[in-house]
Amino acid sequence: MLRAHTVEQVRTAEAALLARLPEGALMQRAAAGLAYAVLDLLGGGYGRRVLLLVGSGDNGGDALHAGAVLARRGVQVEAWLLSSSAHEGGVAALRGAGGRIGTPGPTGRLDVVVDGIVGIGGRPGLRPDAVAALAHVAGVPVVAVDTPSGVDVDTGEISGSHVTADLTVTFGTHKVCHLVDPAAQACGALQLVDIGLDLPEAPVEALQAADVAALLPRPAADAHKYTRGVVGVRSGSAAYPGAALLSVAGAACGLAGMVRYDGDPAALDLVRAAHPEVVGPGRVQAWVVGSGSDDGAEDALRAAVADGVPIVVDADALAFARLTRGRPAVLTPHAGELARLLGVERADVEARWLEHARRAAREHDAVVLLKGRHTVVARPDGRARVTTTGTPWLATAGAGDVLGGLVGALLATGLDPFDAASVGSWLHGAAATLAAQDGPIVASDVAAALPDLLATLTTR
Ligand SMILES: NC(=O)C1=CN([C@@H]2O[C@H](COP(=O)(O)OP(=O)(O)OC[C@H]3O[C@@H](n4cnc5c(N)ncnc54)[C@H](OP(=O)(O)O)[C@@H]3O)[C@@H](O)[C@H]2O)[C@@H](O)CC1
Ligand SMILES: [K+]
């Protein structure tokens, strides 16, 4: 599991460790990890040129100490001190190793810029001196120390200017900004350096392949189709039969023991032709409702609620999400649908993904799966998981229908709504990547890739 902690949690853990270690030891650990990450990126030391952008705090101190390690490896290191003060020990170490302190201005060839302007002590946005310095080095690969300077570390929000990094080297644990968009997009690749922090439960996390493999339901030796769970799909309509086909394609991934389709008769004929194993109405352990339901969404949701089983509330059914309040449910809006649900602008949701997903989860007393580049799955108590699998090719019509069906299948097997939503979202993204292989895909390709993906996970 990749865990992201708040600044306050990191500070508390840091204080406990600082009290036990000799002075400067923690920064040395961080700086060594940072220096080796930069050396990796450079592909060597001797003759390379690195510029450090250094702010007033320990983030700049990390950059300076890493610069000293690099200088001793033959890297030409220059530091620009962007504040009236800078970490004294770091400046002395850099000078002692042969690095130099320079003044911002045009530079010759540079191989890497190290952003040590601010880390977890920073306020959002950059000051004018930092903006001017960055303008001199536009186009040079950037390694951010701990966080890309200027982003909001605890929320992943961006207001004002910020550094856009190619690689972010962080210490002790991930921070929320490393996972949650739009800040996550400014991080580039992520590298975590263990510095020995002892941390509490994380408020935000990201499942990894091993976590998904551990959570995936596997049939018991004496399983039959009913004990494995039956998922019912109430989606699609005469006007939108494709939604029925795609929801069923997601639900029929093989995780649940059986799929029932309970919708428009015309759509049922198409579903049966494509999925002969799908059966008609009957008892289920979870419902998937709303995609392409047209004006039948409210009735379909009421009928599902009456069954008292967990429900995936998608698309047209989201307008009636109040019907599932307090029941086990996963709401699966995209940003526009969540904006309508909360009565805010879409741009507000896209600026503050985590806040809005959490608010919707709290207000609807349900798990909310807010679809985006980095999908956020939030529980009513605020705990959240971010999905980091996926590909831009997944932005294609009908992909959400497949996701809804897949999450429904996971609910039917008995996973709780938070696990079902986050595992389903992870699988959906990974299946899309598998299907795309860097080329275009359509939604049915994502469903078709699920069995191969699941096979690699269940045999782990
Ligand atoms: N925690 C850990 O376990 C470890 C932490 N370590 C490292 O320490 C880092 C945190 O260091 P930190 O606490 O000194 O804060 P930091 O981010 O350097 O900011 C300092 C000062 O910057 C200023 N400032 C504020 N906003 C600004 C802005 N937008 N633009 C410009 N300046 C701004 C403000 O001062 P002001 O100028 O307002 O007086 C503020 O006080 C952490 O990210 C990691 O790299 C590792 O060494 C080891 C383990
Ligand atoms: K930084």
Q: How many helices (H) and strands (E) does the chain have?
A: 15, 18
> What residues are paired with 51 via a beta bridge?
78, 113
Q: Determine the Cα–Cα distance for residues 328 and 397; give it in Å rounded to an integer.
A: 27
pLDDT above 90 for 382: yes
| Predicted local distance difference test score (pLDDT) of residue 266 | 87
* Local structure of residue 123 (DSSP, 8 states): P
How many of the other CB atoms lie within 10 Å of CB of 103? 8
pLDDT above 90 for 459: no
Listed residue (26, 35, 120) closest to 72, CA to CA:
35
Q: Which amino acid residue places its CA nearest to atom 44 of ligand 1?
A: 59
**What digits encode the pLDDT tens for the residues 300-330?**
999 999 999 999 999 999 999 999 998 999 9
| Predicted local distance difference test score (pLDDT) of residue 121 | 98
117 lines ligand 1 (CB under 6 A): yes
Listed residue (51, 30, 65) closest to 143, CA to CA:
51
pLDDT above 90 for 294: no
> What is the arithmetic mean of pLDDT over 54-69?
98
Candidate from 59, 178, 194, 198 with most ligand 1 atoms within 8 A of CB, to mutate: 59
Q: Which amino acid residue places its CA nearest to atom 37 of ligand 1?
A: 56
Specify the DSSP element, H or E, that contains 191.
Answer: strand 189-193
Give the residue extent of every domain in the chain: 2-206, 209-458
Q: How far is the CA of 147 from the centre of ligand 2 (A)?
A: 5
**What digits encode the pLDDT tens for the residues 256-288?**
999 999 998 889 999 999 999 999 999 999 999
**HSE (side-chain half, CA atoms, 13 Å) at 117:** 30
The ligand 1 atom nearest the CA atom of 83: 37
What is the secondary structure of 364-397 as a DSSP string?
HTSEEEEBSTT-EEE-TTS-EEE-----GGG-ST
The two structure tokens encoding residue 306: 């009456």
Say which amino acid occupies 56.
S
Q: How confident is the model at residue 122 (pLDDT cuts 50, 70, 90)?
A: very high
Q: Which amino acid residue places its CA nearest to atom 34 of ligand 1?
A: 122
Q: How far is the CA of 433 from the centre of ligand 1 (A)?
A: 37
pTM for the complete prediction?
0.97
| Predicted local distance difference test score (pLDDT) of residue 228 | 87
Mean of per-residue pLDDT scores for the chain: 96
| Predicted local distance difference test score (pLDDT) of residue 27 | 96
Q: How far is the CA of 300 from the centre of ligand 1 (A)?
A: 53
3-state secondary structure of 36: helix
What does each C-alpha distance from 265 to 239, 268, 277, 280, 316 come to in angstroms? Answer: 12, 5, 17, 10, 19
The ligand 1 atom nearest the CA atom of 171: 49
pLDDT above 90 for 385: yes
Q: Which amino acid residue places its CA nearest to atom 20 of ligand 1?
A: 57
380 lines ligand 1 (CB under 6 A): no
* Superfamily of domain 2-206 in the CATH hierarchy: YjeF N-terminal domain (3.40.50.10260)
CATH architecture of the domain formed by 209-458 = 3-Layer(aba) Sandwich (3.40)
The ligand 1 atom nearest the CA atom of 147: 43
ipTM surpasses 0.95? yes
Largest interatomic CA distance in the chain = 79
58 lines ligand 1 (CB under 6 A): yes
| Predicted local distance difference test score (pLDDT) of residue 227 | 85
- Among 181-190, 217-226, 246-255, 406-415, where is mean pLDDT lowest? 217-226
